[in-house]
Chains A and B, each alone.
Chain A
């Protein structure tokens, strides 16, 4: 555990909590892509199957359980509890265009051809692109609530911090995992455009709206 890992995890946790609280407090999931949230629920489920096979630490187990639990709670709020506020018309990204290639890639490029390994690899690849339905929705409506941009910022920051964590681990532990690093780079790059808008608009007190 290093400082980048820890702040990365906390940033990830903050993102998840911000989104849950936003939906809960406003009693609405307007502007939130339910599809992205389903993808994240799939990501956590396929990655944390190792909860059943290996114990690392209390921190590790509890964070995994919190992430999985919150992911399903978010999906429940969007598709069941506040379904009436869900903006399905604007959430029109075709997720099969992500899941099918990512599934194929996980079968082709993995560390070992074992069910748990393939599912882990699948979750890493899928996470890197899971935010696309959300970004697509924002580009379609041309705007995002400020609280939604805070959520996206924390979520993007988390993977960027993990990149620093991997540099650290490479230097001090001689460890690197090419699959995680490449996918993490892709994931971080997808947020760059958003980071720019966040810094130039949201942090200056303006609402995030895209030019028509």
Chain B
């Protein structure tokens, strides 16, 4: 889930 969170946080 690392990649997804990468884009989710600012």
Residue numbers of A with Cβ under 8 A of B are 5, 9, 12, 50, 54, 56, 60, 63-64, 67, 111, 120, 162, 165, 169, 175, 177, 180
Nearest-neighbour CB distance to chain A for B10, whole angstroms, equals: 6
Complex: how many Å from CA A165 to CA B7? 15
Chain B interface size band reads: under 10
* CB pair A56 B10 closer than 8 Å: no
Nearest-neighbour CB distance to chain B for A177, whole angstroms, equals: 6
* CB pair B7 A180 closer than 8 Å: no
Q: CB < 8 Å: which of B1, B5, B10 contacts A12? A: B10
Q: Using Cβ atoms and an 8 Å threshold, which residues of chain B touch A162?
A: 9
Residue numbers of B with Cβ under 8 A of A are 1-2, 5-10
* CB pair A50 B6 closer than 8 Å: yes
Using CB atoms, name the residue of chain B closest to A57: B8
Q: Using Cβ atoms and an 8 Å threshold, which residues of chain B touch A63?
A: 10
Q: CB < 8 Å: which of A5, A67, A120 contacts B6? A: A120
Using CB atoms, name the residue of chain B closest to A165: B9
* CB pair A175 B1 closer than 8 Å: yes
* CB pair A60 B7 closer than 8 Å: yes
Q: Using Cβ atoms and an 8 Å threshold, which residues of chain A touch B2?
A: 111, 177
